[in-house]
Amino acid sequence: MSAPAPPGRGGAGAMWLASVMEPPSIILAAWADSAYALAEVPLGVRFDVVRATECLGVRALDALANASVSLGPVLYCRPRQTVEFLVPVGTAATWEPLGGTVCAGRGGALLCPAPGGTRRGRTWLYPPVGDGVLTDAELLRAHLLRAYARGRS
């Protein structure tokens, strides 16, 4: 795995994530529960998520970071061995199938720790900082396609 980015501003990032649910205290309470400490953040409200296999996701993430483009929050899920990119709402409706990826939107949920935290094998590589920046889905797809092609050669 690539080294995680420095922790984000947990307060603003946590409030940004929590604000997708009414009331936000539902998500904040889930993070405060030491027995669970993960929250189910609804998708399709503020963002969708592209889940890529660890190999593809790490390659794409490294390429995006080296290209100095704006990256939105990125979550690593050890139990699923996936890298999860937060992308604009509507991406799930237009995502074309690509081996090793799936895109989820409205009706789905992102199971995540509070920004800057690690719980049950889930950790933020790029935590949300509250600014609303998301990874550009087309740019992400281009880098995932390159990573996929390299893996097949």
CA 18 from chain center: how many Å?
A: 15
List beta partners, residue 124. 75
pLDDT (tens digit, 9 = 90+) per residue, 16-73? 999 998 899 999 988 987 666 899 999 999 999 999 999 999 999 999 999 989 999 9
pLDDT (tens digit, 9 = 90+) per residue, 93-115? 999 989 999 999 999 999 999 99
Q: Is the N-terminal amide bond of 73 cis, ω within 30° of 0? A: no
d(CA 145, CA 25): 39
